[in-house]
């Protein structure tokens, strides 16, 4: 398949999967439940953080997490007492547990108090061609409070060769416009041209079959190579092809 035909094929798949019906089985449905900007971004960040494993389990535990935050995550984070935060201790999703969640609440409160918005932290460190340094800077700031070392594994660092799949997915949700009713598009200060594909086993395997990626590992180097390939197809909105790669992998077993 030459580049022209490949682009036509992937563009067709983007149109097929980048539509509201996609939301029914996807974790992005969680932030779609909210209207307040801070609630949207907090629910998206927390949902993305636990978005690995069985999709039904992700949705179940993400909804449970919102219930624990009184379905008003920003208000809970900003005003929760120590007893309120301690009540989160029983939450578990795979290796993300109550200790991790309690720290996440405290760290998010710190970020909103000092920066006013999660968008500010990411936008200050993004360029028109990459958000990867911004993700790394976010992690550094996020873990600036005393914390258990184990909790750091739940926020990836691209500058340490991580593909940072969940944070790149979170940024796609926040930045890409909502014209199709899927992505949320509430952040206006980061360019879609800077976004990276949320690289996982599904998108990686499809990318290799389509000769968009040669590297076997799904790591930071693989992400850089995939980004280069996708930007050659659409430099303004390369991450739209996440819908095509993911849909082909998960729904079509391509």
Contact 38, 74 (CB under 8 A): yes
> Does the predicted model carry a pTM greater than 0.85?
yes
Supply φ then ψ for residue 87, to 5 degrees: -65, -10
Q: With cut-offs at 50, 70 and 90, classify the pLDDT of residue 1.
A: confident
Length of the chain, please? 254
Q: Residues 148-200: pLDDT tens digits? A: 999 999 999 999 999 999 999 999 999 999 999 999 999 999 999 999 999 99
Q: End-to-end alpha-carbon separation of the chain, Å?
A: 15
Residue 40 has pLDDT above 90, yes or no: yes
- Average pLDDT along the chain: 96
């Amino acid at each position: 398949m030459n580049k022209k035909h490949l682009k036509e094929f992937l563009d067709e798949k983007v149109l097929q999967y980048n539509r509201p019906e996609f939301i029914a089985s996807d974790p992005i449905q969680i932030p779609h439940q909210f209207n307040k900007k801070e609630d949207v971004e907090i629910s998206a960040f927390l949902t993305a953080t636990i978005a690995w494993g069985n999709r039904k389990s992700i949705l179940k535990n993400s909804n449970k997490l919102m219930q624990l935050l009184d379905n008003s995550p920003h208000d809970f984070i900003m005003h929760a007492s120590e007893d309120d935060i301690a009540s989160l201790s029983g939450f578990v999703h795979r290796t993300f547990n109550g200790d991790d969640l309690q720290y996440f609440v405290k760290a998010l409160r710190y970020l909103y108090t000092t920066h006013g918005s999660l968008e500010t932290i990411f936008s200050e460190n993004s360029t028109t061609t990459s958000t990867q340094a911004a993700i790394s800077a976010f992690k550094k700031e996020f873990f600036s409070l005393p914390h258990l070392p184990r909790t750091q594994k739940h926020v990836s660092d691209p500058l340490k060769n991580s593909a940072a799949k969940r944070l790149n997915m979170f940024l796609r949700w926040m930045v890409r416009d909502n014209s199709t009713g899927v992505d949320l598009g509430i952040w206006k200060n980061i360019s879609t041209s800077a976004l990276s594909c949320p690289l996982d086993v599904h998108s990686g395997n499809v990318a290799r079959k389509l000769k968009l990626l040669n590297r076997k590992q799904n790591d930071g180097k693989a992400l850089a190579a995939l980004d280069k390939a996708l930007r050659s197809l659409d430099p303004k909105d390369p991450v739209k092809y996440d819908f095509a790669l993911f849909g082909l992998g998960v729904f079509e077993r391509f």
